[in-house]
Chain A
Amino acid sequence: MTPQELISKHIQNSLTPDEQIEFDRLLKSDIDFKKEVDFHETLKKVTEDKDDRDFRSLLSEIEVNPKPITKKRSVKWWYLAASIIVILGLTYFLTNRLSPSNEVLFAQYFEPYRNVTQPVVRSEVNENLKALAFNSYENAKFEKALELFDQMLANTEDPVILFYKSNVLLQLDQAEMAIPILTKDTATTDSFSEKRYWYLALAYLKTNNPQKAKTTLELLLNISDSEYKKKEAKELLKKLD
């Protein structure tokens, strides 16, 4: 076990008795190890303090605004998306059985990315705005969501909010505006990287640029540590060939 692994397990209180002995030995004999342990222990306190502060500001907001932030789980958009797909599917069958248009392919593959931002750590400001924005997003009120995302982005360029904004733009038939957002952030490596490629490919499809869509899908397929949409990407690549 590496010293780093020992420290991680120490932080999470999960060292076995043998590992604990090794940990204590290093702590006494290795000054660099001790420094590293101190750093991680301080970081643990900092995250605890930050988490408490964020929770405190949530309570203050709740105190000021007694009306609970409503969050109706809605399946409306799935119905909407499903009906669009059915209608477009029918149109496709009736008009062009052999090669589906890019528009149709877009409709077949596009669905707004689910909201995974339920914040665990809250920022001191903007939290109400964020809750409202994602509430609109989840309830398929995309115009409202766009307006609220823009308000949030006026303060800070959060890549996650930008990602959801691009999803809203795609939904609102403004793919050409989603493209610069999605291309801009392809350099950012986070858990949204592969999702950006997927939605960028769809945006190119929607704006009738199948060549760029293909290149982007290939970039998505080249990401080694993710399986996100790879099956669909391969399928779509075949259809575009």
Chain B
Amino acid sequence: MFFYLRGIEIYLVNPSLIHILTNSNPKDISTLYYKYRAAFLNFGKRYGANTDIMVDIYQEAFIVIRKHAIQGRLEQVDSSFKTYLFGIGKRMIYNYHKQRKHTVSLDSEIHIINDKVEEVDFDLADEPSIEQKLLRTFFNKLGKRCQEMLTLFYYRGLTIEEIAKKSGYENTNVVSSQKSRCLKQLKEIINTPEQ
């Protein structure tokens, strides 16, 4: 279902929802979370997943949709937020049954149920490498402000200007020097032998 207007795709995920997801304000996230929760759990019943499992799957689907929002992928999808969220969920339910080898009926049935929800593909997180696990331990020793700053730069891909604006820094020079200090601190932690 694509909509084109003189060759320009009309994006169906509301930009304000993308903002809510990337901003992670607890109140807004909570509102969004409960907006679709009941319908999602109901949706899961058809596929034979119990409520506890469905709550877990709902949360995991929410994490994936947020990740896609951060990566800018949500801006390019041609379905609504709800359809996209449910599409991720549907794929997760399928994976869940597959892992547990519930092959008898559900495995095949899941694709047959005519619910108009297209499964959405997503990358499964790789098992973290040893380097990653080690670095995570050191990273957790950094102050919160440094963790925040490095996350904005490395994961979120925000520019120095955007970080200054978002985190209330006075100017970009402060952000640059703070970022260097944080990296230096991290390297010092790495190079300090455990007591």
Contact = CB atoms under 8 A, between A and B. Distances in A.
Interface in A116-130: 116, 118-123, 127
A131 interface: yes
Contact of A63 (B31, B59, B132, B177): B59
Given A42-B129, A120-B24, A225-B177, A47 B171 contact: no
Interface stretch (B3-11, B76-84, B162-170): B162-170
Contacts of A48: 154-155
Interface stretch (A24-32, A53-61, A94-102, A178-186): A53-61
A66 interface: yes
Interface residues of A, number: 51
Interface in A10-37: 11-13
Given A56-B59, A158-B144, A43 B139 contact: yes
Interface in A37-71: 38-40, 42-52, 55-56, 58-63, 66, 68-71
A226 interface: yes
Given A47-B139, A158-B144, A127 B157 contact: no
B159 interface: yes
A55 B24 contact: yes
B128 A49 contact: yes
Interface string A78-115: 00000000000000000000000000000000000010
Interface string B39-67: 00000000000000001000100110011
A43 B59 contact: no
Given A42-B129, A43-B154, A190-B145, A122 B24 contact: yes
Contacts of A122: 24
Contact of B178 (A11, A61, A127, A190): A190
Given A69-B27, A225-B173, A51 B168 contact: no
B155 A127 contact: no
A204 B183 CA distance: 35
Interface string B62-98: 1100110000000000000000000000000000000
B71 to A, nearest CB: 10
B144 A12 contact: no
23 contacts: A38-B131, A40-B154, A42-B131, A43-B135, A43-B186, A45-B132, A47-B147, A49-B128, A55-B66, A56-B59, A59-B62, A59-B63, A62-B29, A62-B34, A63-B33, A69-B30, A119-B24, A121-B151, A158-B144, A190-B178, A191-B178, A225-B177, A226-B171
Given A62-B26, A62-B30, A159-B143, 7 more contacts: A43-B186, A49-B136, A50-B136, A55-B63, A70-B27, A114-B168, A122-B24
